[in-house]
Amino acid sequence: MSTIVAPSLLSADFGDLRKDLEMINRSQADWLHLDIMDGVFVPNISFGFPVLKYVAKYCEKPLDVHLMIVQPEKFIERFQELGVSMLNVHYEACTHLNRTIFEIKNHGMKAAVTLNPSTPVCMLSDVIRDVDMVLLMTVNPGFGGQKFIEHSIDKVRELRRLIDETGSKALIEVDGGVNFETAPRLVRAGVDVLVSGNTVFSASDPEAAIKTLKELS
């Protein structure tokens, strides 16, 4: 399977979002990654439903939503209504994670659990068979353009082992500091899905940057 590439809209030009969405549609990107922040779970606020409505309207790629919010279970239905494909909730934000995973699936979306850099992979042992994807944060969530946390490579390997040992079908996605130097190492360690904001949107040719990331498998 070739590497799935999901550009993160957080680094796009919000003054001309249509242009960047058209670039994504033309490109080899597989999904579009959307970062929702509430200023409580993370020390930043991004964008919400009024923006998402238009992103969903103009983007032709599946939407991979990363919820950096407290009590994400409150909004499952709203994301289903938008036609979202993948809904990522943080392990650290869910008191009843098992229930939340099944609610997402019962609403027809793929369910993913996200781990902060400080949360160990072993915390997933009781949900790994139930999730469609695990998103490993490779920076502390909240901002684009941060430096990759090196320990993440070991974490990817550990997660790959857990998935193989349990027969889980979960994909491994990474998010934060993914660039042309870290991406090949992440793919070799077992990553299936690369999220990339800054590397794609600050490139002089974003479509070519997406193509380069795609060809890493």
Residues that bind ligand DX5 (CB under 6 A): 8, 10-11, 33, 35, 66, 139, 141-146, 175-178, 195-199
Given Zn ion, ligand DX5, none, residue 7, with its beta carbon under 5 to 8 Å by kind, binds none
Q: Which is nearer to ligand DX5, 168 or 182 (CB)?
A: 182
Q: Which of 20, 103, 175, 192 binds Zn ion (CB under 5 A)?
A: 175
Instruction: Exactly one of 20, 35, 64, 192 is catalytic; name it.
Output: 35
The token pair that represents 198 in the structure block: 């800054």
Q: Is there a catalytic annotation at residue 35?
A: yes
**Dist CA 206 CA 212 (whole Å):** 10
Cα torsion 143, 145, 149, 155: sign: positive
Q: Running DSSP on this structure, what letter comes out for residue 91? A: G
Sheet strands (E) in 43-169:
63-68, 86-90, 110-115, 133-137
- Residue 138 CB, nearest distance to ligand DX5 (Å)? 8
**Dist CA 195 CA 179 (whole Å):** 10
Instruction: Exactly one of 20, 30, 64, 175 is catalytic; name it.
Output: 175
**Dist CA 216 CA 208 (whole Å):** 13
**Dist CA 194 CA 183 (whole Å):** 7
Given Zn ion, ligand DX5, none, residue 10, with its beta carbon under 5 to 8 Å by kind, binds ligand DX5
- The length of the chain in residues reads 217
Given ligand DX5, Zn ion, none, residue 197, with its beta carbon under 5 to 8 Å by kind, binds ligand DX5
**Which string of DSSP letters, residue by residue, matches 97-109?**
HHHHHHHHHHTTS
Q: Which is nearer to Zn ion, 106 or 202 (CB)?
A: 202
- Residue 66 CB, nearest distance to ligand DX5 (Å)? 5
3-state secondary structure of 112: strand
- Residue 165 CB, nearest distance to ligand DX5 (Å)? 28
What binding mask, one character per residue, do residues 64-103 give for Zn ion by CB under 5 A, x or -? --x-------------------------------------
Q: Is there a catalytic annotation at residue 64?
A: no
Catalytic residues: 35, 175
